[in-house]
Amino acid sequence: MEKKLRCTVCAWRGEWSDAAFAPRVRQSDLPPSLESIQAVYEEQQSAGIVLGQAHPPPCPTCGHHTVVVARRVSFHPAM
């Protein structure tokens, strides 16, 4: 099962391969408060790379960081 990602800035959600193979876009401009949050995401991902984790691809819509979405088991039947 492929990992699902979400963007940390815009509303994009999708699969890892969708983000990895999408053409790269230039990062959109952000206010200073969001820039500091993006810097924290960069530090966390850099620390993960040192531990052997894969670096998630950037968002195909806005070019900012993405994070893995935790999958949970649903108790509701699929319709």
42-64 residue pLDDT tens: 999 889 888 888 889 999 999 99
Residue 74 resides in a domain: no
Residue 75 resides in a domain: no
In 3-state terms, what secondary structure has residue 40?
Answer: helix
What's the number of domains the chain is made of?
A: 1
Show the domain range for 61: 4-68
Is there a contact between 7 and 13 (Cβ–Cβ < 8 Å)? yes
Q: Which residues touch 67 (CB under 8 Å, ≥6 apart)?
A: 5, 6, 8, 41, 56
Residue 57 resides in a domain: yes
- Stated as kind and residue range, the H or E segment containing 18 is helix 16-21
Residue 76 resides in a domain: no
Q: Tell me the pLDDT band of 6, cut-offs 50, 70 and 90.
A: very high
Residue 77 resides in a domain: no
Residue 27 resides in a domain: yes
Reference 54, options 19, 8, 23; nearest CA is 19
pLDDT digits (tens, 9 = 90+) for 31-40: 988 999 999 9
Residue 26 resides in a domain: yes
